[in-house]
Amino acid sequence: MKPAHIALALMTAVLWGFNFVMIRIGLESGLPPLLMAALRFVVAALPALWLPRPKVPAGRMVLIGAFLFVGQFALLFTGMAVGMPPGLASVTAQSQAFLTGLFAAAILRERPTRRAVAGMAVAFSGLALIGTTVGGGGVTGAGLALCLGSAASWGLGNVLLRGAGTSPGGPLAFMSWLSLVPILPLLGLSLALEGPAAIGHALANPSWGGIAGVLYVAVVATTLGYGIWGFLMSRYPATTVAPFALLVPITGAASSAFFMGESFGPARLAGMALVLAGLGVTALRVGVAKQPQRE
């Protein structure tokens, strides 16, 4: 990868790491999880009012949006609401990196190199070590299962992004139009599962925490973060880009420490070091021929 593209991938990991803190703030403000997910995409889709429509078939857009946005965030937000703290949620979500590799191999016939497999193995051991330090109180079986389902949906969405092409308006236009897809499904799920009374109360009694949470996850994490992610996925193999998301637990942990007072022990610090080492082995390919890419 080019140095500038590596920098973009690292910035995305920082934005997504802090995203888990902002989701928790929004949920604790009283927003029902499915409604919060829907409002996220209402805001994220606003630039579609003036940006050109992507040159991607409507069916492909719906399919990508269904996995990358509807499935991922309906499951993630609900999982965090029923029993997954931000730290553990950020760790669990990153199983998408390995699931992306599996889906890419099965669907796109992208064969990961031995270096990539070794790097992912090292990083996975780091994630497993981090996971042992953030479990405990507040974690439920339902929350864990929902967050793992969210990671699987994200992995499929990553694979579907490959070969989707680019928008005349760039990544921002693509992600803004893609954000139109989940609005009605998520609102429908919220109405059916959370009920009109909960929706009405949340909308009639907005809080600063809820507003800040929705704006961050919509503008920063979705429009900016997924805009960069889509840009990178369209230019490099999924198995090269996806491992950068392994840094999200580290940036998420730092955010939790600063804003929520979360403390870290030797095991968690060692896990972070393993994640960084695995990413370096996977992504920083010294002396290896460059992967084909589109300019």
Query: pLDDT tens digits for 137-187?
Result: 567 778 888 988 998 999 899 888 876 665 666 777 888 899 999 999 999
Q: Residue 79 corresponds to which tokens in the numbers above?
A: 């999982």
Asked whether residue 290 is domain-assigned, the answer is no
In a domain, 288, yes or no: no
Has residue 7 been placed in a domain?
Answer: yes
Query: DSSP characters for 164-222?
Result: ----TTHHHHHHHHHTTTTHHHHHHHHHHHTHHHHHHHHHHS--HHHHHHHHIIIIIII
**Residue 222 neighbours by CB under 8 Å, 6+ apart:** 40, 41, 44, 175, 179
Is 266 domain-assigned?
yes
| 42 DSSP 8-state letter | H
The residue range of the domain holding 91 is 3-283
The pTM (predicted TM-score) of the whole model is 0.79
Query: For residue 270, is it within any domain?
Result: yes
The pLDDT value recorded for residue 167 is 60
User: Is residue 295 one of the residues assigned to a domain?
Assistant: no
Number of independent structural domains in the chain: 1
pLDDT, position 286? 46
**Does residue 251 lie in a domain region?**
yes
- Higher pLDDT pick, 253 / 228: 228
pLDDT digits (tens, 9 = 90+) for 89-141: 887 887 787 778 778 888 877 777 787 788 778 878 887 887 776 655 567 77
Report how far apart, in Å, the C-alpha atoms of 250 and of each of 15, 126, 225, 266, 271 are.
11, 11, 17, 14, 9
- Note whether residue 291 is domain-resident: no
Backbone angles phi, psi at 201, to 5 degrees: -65, -45
Q: If you average pLDDT over every residue of the chain, what do you get?
A: 83
With 70 as the cut, is the pLDDT of residue 198 above it? yes
